[in-house]
Amino acid sequence: MSSPFRLRFNKTSFENLPLPARATRATYYDTEVLGLQLRVTDRAVKSFCVFRRSKGGSGDADISVVPVRMGLQGEIGVVVAGSERADFPTQTEGLLLRVAANQGWISLQEARLLTEQKRVARESIEDRKWSQTLLAGEKRLLEMIASGSPLLDVLNALCNFVEHAAPECYCGVYPIDWTGPTFLYGVAPSLPVSYIAPIEGLPVHCGIAPCGVAAYVKK
């Protein structure tokens, strides 16, 4: 391995680095960040290392820390390995680290895909159950109409069905005698009687609550 060189790390300096002799590796030190190194093999493989002092054992020791990016652009994260050996990582160790990073990236992608598949399957089951609930409600209403159930019972069931389908809403039905036109009565099982009762017999015009506006403009 050749002697280390010192230079300022940037894109231009990296592009102009010469390749070392066959079966050797060149080491470059950053002039601004203490302990930051760039190692270049004769095959143009570049790896960054960070040396730090570690206390313990028989004394201080230099630790070489090598980050290996995960993902095609390093967008997932990094695998970090370290050693007190001065020649770490060797070409074989560097290859193993890259394999580990690639396997980690593949595993993360598989986990994300599995999570997404479970989410889609769960939503599909919920949608199917919801559709079955709506169909059952519609069937019950049709059966009530076909069997001649009282109109008030049918309208109450209709309001309950709508509110079940849209829990954030209140539903009310207000039949109209168009000879007046006037409201006959109101059906709104979730609203207080004090709100519904006064509507009976009132004329249909824009000044009578939202239902009056809707009936007047027929929308």
Q: Convert the pLDDT of each residue in 50-69 to its tens digit.
A: 666 555 544 445 666 677 77
Among residues 52, 72, 88, the one where a domain terminates is 88
Among residues 88, 103, 136, the one where a domain terminates is 88
Is residue 35 domain-resident? yes
- What integer pLDDT is reported at residue 79 of this predicted model? 73
Is residue 145 domain-resident? no
pTM for the model: 0.43
The yes-or-no verdict on residue 165 having pLDDT over 80 is: yes
Task: Report how far residue 74's alpha carbon sits from residue 104's, in angstroms, rounded to the nearest whole number.
Answer: 12
Query: pLDDT tens digit string along 66-84?
Result: 777 776 665 566 677 777 7
The yes-or-no verdict on residue 191 having pLDDT over 80 is: yes
Is residue 113 domain-resident? no
Query: pLDDT tens digit string along 199-213?
Result: 888 887 766 666 666
Is-contact 71 105, C-beta < 8 A? yes
Q: Write b or e for each residue in 95-128: b if 16 or more Cβ atoms lie within 10 A of its Cβ, otherwise e.
A: eebbeebeebbeeeeeeeeeeeeeeeeeeeeeee
Among residues 57, 88, 119, the one where a domain terminates is 88
